[in-house]
Amino acid sequence: MVFSALLRFIFGFGLLSLALSQSNAGGAATTPDLPWVLTFGRPSNYDSYWNFDTSSIPADPIHPFRRVENGLEINVFRGPVDGGTQQMIQIHVESSSSNHDVFWQVYNGGSIVTRYSAIQHRPQTTELQSNVQGTFAMIPYQPGTRITLYWRLKDGGL
């Protein structure tokens, strides 16, 4: 189970990175034009949280910073997008059971962090939803920033 989850994570990231690196084949660096933090208020109705410093995140998708907790798996690593010109923190969250969905948010201080599923993709909601297939989020890499993930499980799933 853990091995297949890691393979899905690496394969998914590889496709995402390839697509993003091709998005700017001209070679000029593209910096996402969104503010780094959007204020949506403090999270509520979340069962669990985990925080980490972005400086501690490895730049290695094969050996991500990993957390497994009852009901979910989180893999985090730093990686280049846009032809290697933009460093992003890659976050992958998945439910460990097809009977549950994971609802999660990414915070820095009292504000939700702007997330991207692709370069220049504006978040439409404050919350992401993951199932056993997992969901990616990316945030611009800024060393020394403390990030907090909040999540809750909900019965249902696939």
Q: How confident is the model at residue 155 (pLDDT cuts 50, 70, 90)?
A: confident
**What pTM, to 2 d.p., does this model score?**
0.65
Q: How many residues can be counted in the chain? A: 158
- 3-state DSSP of 81-111: ECCCCEEEEEEEEEECCCCEEEEEEEEECCE
pLDDT, tens digit, for every residue of 29-58? Answer: 444 433 344 444 556 677 788 888 888 888
Give the start-to-end residue ranges of the domains of the chain. 2-23+37-155
- Choose among 55, 2, 23, 113: nearest CA to 10: 2
Q: Under DSSP, is residue 146 helix (H, G, I), strand (E, B) or coil?
A: strand
